[in-house]
Amino acid sequence: MDRFSIVVGDITESDAEAIVNAATESLLGGSGVDGAIHHAAGPELLAECRTLHGCPTGQAKLTKGYRLKASYILHTPGPVWRGGQSGEAEKLASCYRSCLQLAADYGIRSVDFPCISTGVFGYPAVQAAAVSLRAIMDFLRDHDTPRRVRVVCHTKDSAKIWRQTYNFWFAETKADRL
């Protein structure tokens, strides 16, 4: 899938047209990637977020990117991990689908995601990677926009998990290419 890749980095430095924020339902900022994005985008971001009146888990809302290189931010609150029997997987998949659908609606050509829910919200990394990759791949199969999607892992260890999961489930085999 040449429209998709997994990279290591700081998503606040992304050159994608839109980056995704692993937000909280209030959309009023927090720690982790949310805090880093608000810090890098500047106070105008919080001012716009206040006008949005929050966002339910699994859905997404769009703001401008302000001082970021990215033109837009897609804010999505991921599920809190409660052991896996509380609809976490469906909600996590919904975060990715909602962001990608919003990007498609706005004609956004490139989107970078962080590993939603895998920090403060405690979603186990391997399970999150499998669910998230399935949601991304299903969307890209069915839609032409966005053209490019990346997962920006904050650490090499997390990128290793995502790449192994991708290779196990999604990498094309030689037989697929024949």
- The residues that are catalytic are 34
What's the rounded Cα separation, in Å, for the pair 136 and 162? 13
Asked if residue 54 binds ligand AR6 (CB under 6 A), the reply is: no
Judged by CB under 6 A, the residue of 3, 36, 127, 163 near ligand AR6 is 36
What is the number of other CB atoms lying within 10 angstroms of the CB of residue 49?
23
Asked if residue 22 binds ligand AR6 (CB under 6 A), the reply is: yes
Beta bridge partners of 75: 21, 61
Closer CB to ligand AR6, 20 or 62, in the complex: 20
> Given the rule CB under 6 A, which of 17-25, 54-62, 137-145, 163-171 is the region that contacts ligand AR6?
17-25
Site for ligand AR6 in 83-122 (CB under 6 A): 114-121
Asked if residue 23 binds ligand AR6 (CB under 6 A), the reply is: yes
Cα–Cα distances in Å, from 176 out to 1, 63, 160, 171, 173? 12, 39, 24, 9, 5
Beta bridge partners of 21: 75
